[in-house]
Amino acid sequence: MAAEEVKTASVATPTQQAKPQEEKQTNCPACNKPLKKVRIYYRNGKHYCTKKCWRKATAPKEGAKQ
């Protein structure tokens, strides 16, 4: 009989940190491109790279979540 030593290893998930989304915004929420210093379109508390992206992001999507 092979005694298999199976310990109940506590598998921890190290890389599972819940990051709050209150960080400094660096990417456009619409196209996810990094925002540059210039040409930042600020609307509704968020920064977009262009007005186009803002429209894209604010376009009617499924779910009316703010």
Identify the CA nearest to 29 among candidates 6, 12, 52, 13: 52
C-beta of residue 47 within 8 angstroms of C-beta of residue 62 = no
Q: Which of 4/23 has CB closer to Zn ion?
A: 23
Residue 35 touches Zn ion, criterion: CB under 5 A: no
Residues 49, 36: Cα–Cα separation, whole Å? 7
Residue 28 touches Zn ion, criterion: CB under 5 A: yes
Residue 11 C-beta: closest distance to Zn ion, Å: 39
Residue 63 C-beta: closest distance to Zn ion, Å: 21
Q: Which residues bind Zn ion (CB under 5 A)?
A: 28, 30-31, 33, 49, 53
